[in-house]
Amino acid sequence: MIVYAVSAGEGILAISPIPGGDGDYACDVQHLIEWKPAIVISLVSEVELVAARAAGLWHDLVEAGCRWEHLPISDFGVPDAEFEEAWPEVSANARRALTGGGRILVHCRGGCGRSGMVALRLMIELGEAPDDALARLRVVRSCAVETDAQMAWALAAKRAPAVFLRHED
């Protein structure tokens, strides 16, 4: 499993495919645990978790001391009302972790559209300019954010003051 990471705030924000998606769940989840994310945001459905033999992902992550947030979005889709209701708290916790130097991992089935959309939204909410955030994200994962609707949702973010940005030369 590959973790596609960018700096965000003072921490690291990453997107990835679902652990087990390529057939080796145990190795993937071990790699993920060793990466030490503070929070893993899973955007896949229960059906996708079962299909990847990752139904126990939440348990494995929590047991390893990681917070797990399950906010399913349909493939190629955008957040529904239930997601939107949970998002402010999940986003605040993720942004707090990132500004404190922590690591956040967002995953969907392929590690492209849904995870890219949510990662982009977090980057913008942290204060990064949308075009800059998208460019940096697509340097590490060119397929990040796949549909116009996903892009629109990410760009609807309320941007924080730029004091939260990490400047790199």
Give 76-105 pLDDT, tens digit per residue: 999 999 999 999 999 999 999 999 999 999
Q: What beta strand segments (E) does the chain contain?
A: 4-8, 11-16, 39-42, 67-70, 103-107
Residue-level pLDDT at 161? 61
CA 153 to chain centre: 14
Q: Are 134 and 145 in contact (CB under 8 A)?
A: yes
Instruction: For domain 4-157, give the CATH number.
Output: 3.90.190.10
Return the closest-CA partner of residue 3 out of 33, 45, 23.
33
* pTM: predicted TM-score of the whole model, two decimal places: 0.93
Q: Are 108 and 43 in contact (CB under 8 A)?
A: yes
Domain ranges in the chain are 4-157
Q: What beta strand segments (E) does 45-169 contain?
A: 67-70, 103-107
Q: Are 9 and 126 in contact (CB under 8 A)?
A: yes
Q: Are 36 and 135 in contact (CB under 8 A)?
A: no
Q: Is the pLDDT of residue 27 over 80?
A: yes
